[in-house]
Every structure is written in structure tokens, then in C-alpha cells.
Structure 1
Amino acid sequence: MELRVLAYFLAVVDAKNISRAARQLHVSQPTVSRQLQALEDELGVPLFERGSREIQLTSDGLYLANQARQITALVDKTLTNIHQTKTISGTVLIGCGESQMMGTVAQSINTLKHEHPGVQINLFSTDGNTAVERLQAGIFDFAIVMTPMMDHRYNFIRLPGASRWGLLLPKSSPLARQKSISAEQLTNIDLIAPQQKGIDELFENWLGHSTDQFHIISTYNLLYNASILVSAGVGAALCLDNIINTNHTALTFVPLIPTLQSMASLVWLKGRPLSDAASAFLNQLQAAVS
């Protein structure tokens, strides 16, 4: 499977029409059609639904399109990092879970831009699970996660600071007038809970028993949309403090008691060589936390 053929395939997917894709690629329509047919023959599955005016993908076609985008993105990033000048340049992609400890990372990026203006740091906001998956796939250079990475496959740097767990509530809720929420109260509340791996274990250790008593009515991977559910009265979001700015809003954050905190780490895969740009960022962050 050639990268050129994947580029033809993605062009057709985006244009939804072989003729339009051929014009954008500056090749003939028969050339594109032959390449797509050869790709289907190679894979042994149909990639397109025939018979409609616009291209429609089969389930295998949808899967290939998603994989092809990741492959071409990885190739583009690799070529950018290889084709450097004598000064350090290139792109670094960091998958970020929501964390107030991002402040240290931001300060490091600010310092780095003055020392190595040819380095571009790209942040991709997502949940910790997806960040780690894309780190493993080679799409991300680094990931920032809240749960401890006690895994021999990863190196990590613990970021300074910690965040409290609590509930994001409407200010109109009776619980909003409390200074804290107890474990007993937590089991009697409609909860919007984070999807991240390790959360159940974290709260089971805090509770001293299973989280089966939690009444979870919805889950989330990023808190912004969950905050909209809270505003609509769906439930209370179990979350970390200082992710949502509640100033001048109808929401408030109430911490849990006893206090439960999480820390954040920057992680990267052991044994995978880093580009000069990624190494420059890592050196800057290590200097900031030492």
C-alpha cells in the first residue's frame, strides 16, 4: 500500500466525487479510478458504496479513511522534523488531558519559543485515554495525563501541583451552600462522571469500597460539555477544580471531604527516539521542574 494511493483515496473521500478529486490532484479521472480499484483488490474488501452520485464509504472504507489520516499525519510530522536546518526546528504534538498543571508546560513553551523559534508546539486537547492511545501509535510525541503511569513502557515527568476533586453544581442546588461534599452524600447524587481509566480505582481507594453505589447518569471525556449538562439540571459533574472557570456563571465547585487530589504527568514512550524539536521541549520542561 503506497502513500500516494492513500492520498488519492483521501482526496476522493474529502471531495465525495472521483472527478473532483482528480482535478484537485491534477491527474486524470481514469488514473484515480484505477488506483482505487487496485486498492480494493489489494485489501480484498469494497471501500465505496456504488450507485450513488456522491461517494459513500463502506464500514471498511470508514475505518481505512480514519487510519489513512493518522498515517499521513504521522508521515507529514516525520518529514517536517527530518527536513530541518542547522538550527533546531520542527513540530511537537502533545495530547493534553484537562489539567491546571498545564501552566508549567505553557511556561516551558514560552521559554522554548525564544530559544528555538523554529520549534512549533501543537496541543491536542483530549481525554487521557485517547492521549495515551495516540502516544502509543506514534501520533503524539508526549501526553499529559492525570492518572499515574505506573507502566514500564513509559518515561514520565511529574508536573508541579495538584488538583482537588469535587462536584460542579448549579448555584441553585442546596449542596452549593456547603463547604464540602462527603463520601456518603456523593452516593445520593445524580452524577456525571469522567470516563478516564483509573477513575474507579481512585474513588474505590478513597471510599474504601466499590463505586457501585454511585448513581452515574452520564459520562464525559472533556468537562466543558459536562458543565452544560450541569447547567441544564441533568446532574452534578464529578471533576477536578479549576478546569471550568465558574466566575460570573450559575455554577460553583464544591470539594470532596476527605480531600481527594490528583497530579498530572507528562509521559512519553521508552525506546522511541525523539526528534530534536521534541528533545528541546523535554529539556526545557525538565529544567522548569527541577
Structure 2
Amino acid sequence: MELRHLRYFVAVAEEKNFTRAAKRLFIAQPPLSRQIQQLEEELGVDLIEKGSRPLKLTEAGEFFQAHASELLEKVGALKTMTQRVGKVERTLSIGFVASTLYGLLPEIVRRFRTRYTHVQVSFHEMTTMEQIKALKEGRIDVGFGRVKAEDASVRRIVLREERLIVALPIGHALSDSDEPIRLLDLQNDVLLVYPKAPRPSFADQVLEVFRAHGIQPRNVLEVRELQIALGLVAAGEGVSVVPESVQGMKRKDVFYRTLADRQAISPVMFSVRNLDKSEELVNMLAVIYEIYDEVGIPHVKESL
């Protein structure tokens, strides 16, 4: 059994059609069919139900697809990591969600650049799910996100649990009091959540906080990004639940209030390719914990 057999079978399983799989693999259909047949003969089991339309995997085929896909991802990650180690020029490509820029990420990167001047750092704004895909494809080396999505090819470290707050328009009925706001108090407001896609996203995280407290917002409006949500809040179109660090972005037309409800939090996640322990990533993580210690942010130190 060779890696090409795994690639061929995964393509057929995902496309559920030999013709489409052959086009995807840039090979003719008859050789592809023979390769799958040889794979089944070597394994001694049927992987595809004979005569099924559309193509359907057997129980053994589903098992083989899951583990073959995981193995191919690991091979891809190994290739990317080996290429990184072999480069003379040191680089660090960072993916980030927009809200992390209002927290400590800028200070973290400034200190890292000052201390490790030989490393070229680049930034790429992307959602947490986009970061995971980009890590697996080798387009970024580390991601700063918020959604706790699991993937066997990606190592995720929770750096901190950030409190959520609510952004209100000036003149809102709840903006006069200094008391923390309950999620229940927001039930009848238009709740602006972001991003609209891809999902799952921070929007789902916010909605889950409401569900965990037994609350169903009556009017939810999905928007593309944080800045749009805050702009609509300022225009009086609704309210938005955002990470606490966002209030560092000063606006005269938005009022921020704390939330009284427990567990109204959002994690800040540090994501890397599984088994990637390159010097740049180790040093970046050390800088993060150093700054967290200085400002007194509670955290649990993990190593790569």
C-alpha cells in the first residue's frame, strides 16, 4: 500500500463518483478504478458497495477513509514543517481574528520582533476555521482565534478566558445604570452577531452563551464582521456581545457594559500544526506568557 492509494481512495470517497475523482486527481478513470480494486484486494475487504448509485462506502470503507484522511493530513504537515526547518530565512506567518488586535496581540508581536530581529513576521486576518485550514495547508504557522473547533492535525492552547461585554448605542435604556447587565435584559433587543460565515464562528459562541443560560434572543441579525456590528450598534440598529478587549477601540457613539452572567466568556486560542515545535513558535509562546505575567492575566502555561 502506497500513499497514492490513500489519496486515490479519499478522492473517490469524497467525490462519491469515479469520474469526478479522476478529474480531481488528473488521471484517467480506468487506472483509478484498477487502483481502488487493487487496494481492496490487498486489504481483503470491500471498501465500496458494489453497484451503489451514488457511490456508497461500506463500514470498512468509512473506517479506512477516516484514518486515511488523517494520515494524509499528517504527511502534509510533516512536509510543511520539514520545509520550515530547512529554510535559511526564518519566517513566522500569523493568522488572527480581528478582535485579538484590540487585546495584547500587537504588544506581543512588537516584543517578539524587537527580540528576534532575524525572523520575518507577516499577518493574515482570517476566522478561526480559516486559520485551521491555513495551518494544515502551510499558509500560516500560528493562529490566534476564539472558536474551540477540534482537528487532529492542529494543536490548540487556550491562552486565556476573556470576559464578554455588551456594546450598546448611546441613549439605550440600559446605558444609564452602572450595574452589570443580565443577558435576559437583552432578550428583546436586536442581537447583532458576527461573522456570518464561515461557521462555526464567534457568532455561534455568543448564541451558545445565551442558550446555556436558557435564553433565546427574539431577533438575531448576522453581519459579516466586528466593525460592521459596532457600526450598526452606533446607528441604533441593535446591541452586540463582544470580547472585553474591544472596548479599547474608542468610539463616542458606542457604550460598553459588563455582563452579570457567569461563564459569559470567550477563549483566546493559540493554534499550531500538531507536532510543530519550531524555535519561532516556542519563542512566541514564551513572549505571550511573559506579557501575561506582567499585566496579571490569569493563565495556565503550556509548552509545545
Change in 2 beyond 3 A, CA 1:113/1:226: same
Q: Is the 8 A contact 1:178 1:254 kept in 2?
A: no
What is the alpha-carbon distance in structure 2 between the residues aligned to residue 214 and residue 43 of structure 1? 52
What is the alpha-carbon distance in structure 1 between the residues aligned to residue 84 and residue 108 of structure 2? 22
Q: Which whole-Å deviations, capped at 9, do the CAs of 1:19-75 have from their partners, x for residues lacking one?
A: xxxxxxxxxxxxxxxxxxxxxxx799xxxxxxxxxxxxxxxxxxxxxxxxxxxxxx9
Q: Is the 8 A contact 1:186 1:214 kept in 2?
A: no
Q: Which whole-Å deviations, capped at 9, do the CAs of 1:214-250 have from their partners, x for residues lacking one?
A: 4112333x31222112222222122222314464512
| Match of residue 168 from structure 1 | 167
Q: Give the percent of matched residue pairs that are identical in Structure 1 and Structure 2.
A: 16
Change in 2 beyond 3 A, CA 1:81/1:187: same
Q: Is the 8 A contact 1:230 1:236 kept in 2?
A: yes
TM-score normalized by the length of structure 2: 0.56
1:268 corresponds to 2:272: yes
| Match of residue 225 from structure 1 | 228
Superposed displacement of residue 116, structure 1: 2.6
1:237-252 to structure 2, matched below 5 A, reads 237-245=240-248, 247=250, 249-252=252-255
1:110-129 to structure 2, matched below 5 A, reads 110-129=110-129
What is the alpha-carbon distance in structure 2 between the residues aligned to residue 78 and residue 228 of structure 1? 44
What is the alpha-carbon distance in structure 2 between the residues aligned to residue 169 and residue 203 of structure 1? 17
Change in 2 beyond 3 A, CA 1:234/1:159: same
Change in 2 beyond 3 A, CA 1:224/1:81: farther
Superposed displacement of residue 252, structure 1: 0.7
Give 2:238's match in structure 1, choosing from 235, 238, 243.
Answer: 235
1:1-290 to structure 2, matched below 5 A, reads 82-84=86-88, 89-97=89-97, 98-99=99-100, 102-103=103-104, 105-149=105-149, 151-160=151-160, 162-179=161-178, 180-195=180-195, 196=201, 198-199=204-205, 200-205=207-212, 207-208=213-214, 211=216, 213-220=217-224, 222-245=225-248, 247=250, 249-259=252-262, 260-271=264-275, 273=276, 275-285=278-288, 290=301
CA RMSD of aligned residues (A): 3.6
Superposed displacement of residue 188, structure 1: 0.2
| Match of residue 67 from structure 2 | none
What is the alpha-carbon distance in structure 2 between the residues aligned to residue 151 and residue 201 of structure 1? 21
What is the alpha-carbon distance in structure 1 between the residues aligned to residue 282 and residue 133 of structure 2? 21
Deviates more, 1:194-203 or 1:181-190: 194-203
| Match of residue 61 from structure 2 | none
Letter in 2 for 1:174: A
What is the alpha-carbon distance in structure 2 between the residues aligned to residue 177 and residue 79 of structure 1? 57
Superposed displacement of residue 265, structure 1: 1.7
Q: Which whole-Å deviations, capped at 9, do the CAs of 1:191-230 have from their partners, x for residues lacking one?
A: 111231541333322x235x4x44112333x312221122
Q: Which SS does the other structure have where 2:271 is aligned?
A: strand
What is the alpha-carbon distance in structure 2 between the residues aligned to residue 274 and residue 189 of structure 1? 46
| Higher normalized strand content (fraction of residues) | 1
Letter in 1 for 2:208: E
Superposed displacement of residue 108, structure 1: 4.3
Change in 2 beyond 3 A, CA 1:116/1:247: closer
Q: Which runs of 5+ in 1 are unaligned?
A: 1-41, 45-74
